[in-house]
Amino acid sequence: MPRLAGLRAVLAVLCVAAALAAATVGHCAEFVPGVTRPVVVGGDRDYPPYEFLDKNGQPAGFNVDISRAIGEVMGMRMEFRLGDWASQREGLMEGRRDVLQGMSYSDDRSQTVDFAPHTIVNHGIFARRDALAVDNLDQLAGKKVIVHRGGIMHDTLSAKGFADDLVLVDTPADGLRLLASGQGDYAVVAMLPGIYIMHEFGLDNIQPVARGVFTVRYGYAVKKGDEALLARFSEGLAILRETGRYQAIHDKWLGVLENGRLRWQTIALYVGAIATPLLALLGGSMLWTHFLRKQVAQRTKSLTKAMEELSRNQRQLVQADKMAALGILVSGVAHEINNPNGLILLNIPILRKAQADAVRLLARRYEEEGDFLLGGIPFSRMKNELPRLLEEMQEGAQRIKRIVNDLKDFARREEGSGRSLIDVGDAARKAVRLLDAAIRKATDHFSAVYEPDIPLVWGHSQRVEQVLVNLVLNACQALPDRDRAIVLAVSHDADKKQVVLTVRDEGAGIAPEHLPHLTDPFFTTKRETGGTGLGLSVSAGILKEYGATLSFHSVPGQGTTAVVAFPVPAQEQAS
């Protein structure tokens, strides 16, 4: 009878745990709207090459093709309704649109809508060729600035206090035509639509005078709380990226080749316009012929320079798009890991209580009958092993939770650089935890030294972690075998008033002629293995924002040392 009662107690505990698990899984099943009727997709009627109505009045562009592809892979019917942007935003909030396929992210907008970004958009300042040069948005104060009504730049410049000087237009094309006609001082437009419109309508008297003045995530938006529909779009995006279909659509609309064809068509128009009078004046003055050739050469040089600039912007756009995809992927993976791991953390304390109750009953049997097997192991040994096994399981689940949180922090993107006083040592520990698997794969001799009581420095924790991840990964990739070491150290140089972080590896080293170019954009010695040459360039840019420096010392065949020096704020020095 005692043994039967003990068995019933264990079975009762296991039934409770199973019920908890079933309840948790049950709560994950939700009704997803937009399945039994078409999903009404809103967008801008004149925002090429992202979304617009073509010459036949049909929806076209990058956003439209992406939405159609998501509809195919997710089994959703799409109904496109494109119009002026301000009415599209109203339609979403009033329920006449289920989703907008091309909205730029901002903190203010995130109060009323939820986002699933699919690309990155860079904005620039456009002006007539005789206008004064400007470098940033703040220099537009007091100027008449043309912006897209209801667009992200309308919101941004209004927040800066420029609302009274803004000239609002229904479409970017209307804005650039207005600027070309002599009205307004400047126009702020997304770079790709701006360049597309300039060449499409032959607006030769305007040009971009400042590029990349505002970069923003851009993609799908649903009314706040419509998480089920947004999740279907996010899942569809992930499928398109994995199958390569997203990249094909991206190349079709935003790729360098497509824009390149537009430029050579423009060149052909110039050559044709020049060829006719040239034939008519074939026997004329050599001076006139020389003049015409000079004009063609100047135009060709100008167009070639613009095409090279667009190609450079395109490569940066692709890299930024990959980072946005990483954020989406990490969010999904973190959710999938946290759910079962949460069950483990919830059930282990229950199992530990059940084990404690059951061991008393089994101990009584041990006293009465002697030793017996439990799970194939003698009870005299198992009664000491079980608590340790459960303790290890709980510690392992907690470690999974910490790693997932670190991964989410690293992948989370913030609008604007932002900064606060941070602990460099804490950021370094998170980066090391995040790269634990990569480090163990690369070397058997990794060590980290964190000096205590390090002063706080100005920075952004996730962005500094990104820098550290780049440096440690580069060190891992430099090692020829697992016997070589990597040493990470964080220290305080009181004399120089700096917090210094070093990453030293015993790898192959770097050739002296390459050292000055390590932080140049797109410079890499690992292109054949997939290197983009952007990691160290991005890292140097992040550190520069906080007044920090990045330097390298290397001896070929012996290894490389990367040194990051953060200035200590005056108040931290005093403390």
Q: Mind listing the pLDDT tens digit for each residue in 362-409?
A: 888 888 888 888 888 888 888 888 888 888 888 888 878 767 765 665
More confident residue, 366 or 411: 366
Q: Please report the pLDDT score of residue 457 as a whole number.
A: 93
Residues found in the chain: 575
Q: How confident is the model at residue 257 (pLDDT cuts 50, 70, 90)?
A: very low
Tell me how far apart the alpha carbons of residues 458 and 486 are, in angstroms, rounded to a whole number.
27
The answer, yes or no, to whether residue 79 has pLDDT greater than 80, is yes
Nearest residue to 146 (alpha-carbon basis) of 128, 120, 119: 128
The answer, yes or no, to whether residue 335 has pLDDT greater than 50, is yes
The answer, yes or no, to whether residue 419 has pLDDT greater than 90, is no
Task: Give the whole-number percent of the chain exceeding pLDDT 90.
Answer: 49
- Phi, psi dihedral angles at 553 (to 5 degrees): -130, 130
The answer, yes or no, to whether residue 260 has pLDDT greater than 60, is no
Tell me how far apart the alpha carbons of residues 166 and 144 are, in angstroms, rounded to a whole number.
6
Q: How confident is the model at residue 21 (pLDDT cuts 50, 70, 90)?
A: very low
Tell me how far apart the alpha carbons of residues 239 and 232 are, in angstroms, rounded to a whole number.
11
Tell me how far apart the alpha carbons of residues 343 and 321 are, in angstroms, rounded to a whole number.
34
- Least confident interval from 213-217, 346-350, 452-456: 346-350
Mean pLDDT in residue range 409-414:
52
Q: How confident is the model at residue 572 (pLDDT cuts 50, 70, 90)?
A: low
Mean pLDDT in residue range 306-330:
65
More confident residue, 18 or 318: 318
State whether residue 83 is helix, strand or coil. Answer: strand
Q: Please report the pLDDT score of residue 356 as a whole number.
A: 83
The answer, yes or no, to whether residue 518 has pLDDT greater than 60, is yes
Q: Please report the pLDDT score of residue 549 as a whole number.
A: 93
Second-level CATH architecture of 420-574 = 2-Layer Sandwich (3.30)
The answer, yes or no, to whether residue 275 has pLDDT greater than 70, is no
* Spatial CB neighbours of 119, under 8 Å, sequence gap ≥ 6: 62, 218, 219, 250, 254, 317, 321, 324
More confident residue, 319 or 112: 112
The answer, yes or no, to whether residue 281 has pLDDT greater than 60, is yes
| Residues 50-59: contacts with CB under 8 Å, at least 24 apart | 50/102, 50/192, 50/193, 50/218, 50/253, 51/82, 51/101, 51/102, 52/82, 53/82
8 A C-beta contact, residue 256 and residue 263: no
Phi-psi region of 171 (alpha: psi -120 to 50; beta: other; left: phi over 0): beta
CB atoms within 10 A of CB 15: 10
The answer, yes or no, to whether residue 208 has pLDDT greater than 70, is yes
Tell me how far apart the alpha carbons of residues 10 and 352 are, in angstroms, rounded to a whole number.
11
* Spatial CB neighbours of 560, under 8 Å, sequence gap ≥ 6: 475, 478, 504, 505, 507, 509, 510, 552, 553, 554
Tell me how far apart the alpha carbons of residues 199 and 48 are, in angstroms, rounded to a whole number.
12
The DSSP line for 468-484 is HHHHHHHHHHH-SSTTS
The answer, yes or no, to whether residue 114 has pLDDT greater than 60, is yes
Second-level CATH architecture of 39-254 = 3-Layer(aba) Sandwich (3.40)
Q: How confident is the model at residue 528 (pLDDT cuts 50, 70, 90)?
A: low
Mean pLDDT in residue range 31-60:
85
- Least confident interval from 114-123, 178-187, 416-425: 416-425
Would you give the end-to-end CA distance of the chain in angstroms?
70
Mean pLDDT in residue range 550-558:
91
Going by the DSSP 8-state scheme, the letter that residue 221 receives in this structure is E
Q: Please report the pLDDT score of residue 307 as a whole number.
A: 79
Tell me how far apart the alpha carbons of residues 347 and 356 are, in angstroms, rounded to a whole number.
14
Domain definitions of the chain by residue range: 39-254, 420-574
| Distance of alpha carbon 122 from the chain centroid | 14
Q: Please report the pLDDT score of residue 361 as a whole number.
A: 85
8 A C-beta contact, residue 109 and residue 221: yes
Q: Please report the pLDDT score of residue 326 as a whole number.
A: 61
8 A C-beta contact, residue 446 and residue 486: yes
Q: Please report the pLDDT score of residue 233 as a whole number.
A: 94
Tell me how far apart the alpha carbons of residues 160 and 214 are, in angstroms, rounded to a whole number.
13
More confident residue, 504 or 409: 504
Mean pLDDT in residue range 116-130:
94
More confident residue, 157 or 516: 157
Going by the DSSP 8-state scheme, the letter that residue 202 receives in this structure is T
Mean pLDDT in residue range 209-228:
93
Q: Please report the pLDDT score of residue 292 as a whole number.
A: 80
8 A C-beta contact, residue 74 and residue 240: no
- Least confident interval from 182-196, 215-229, 313-327, 453-467: 313-327
Mean pLDDT of the chain: 82
Helix (H) or strand (E) holding 449: strand 445-450
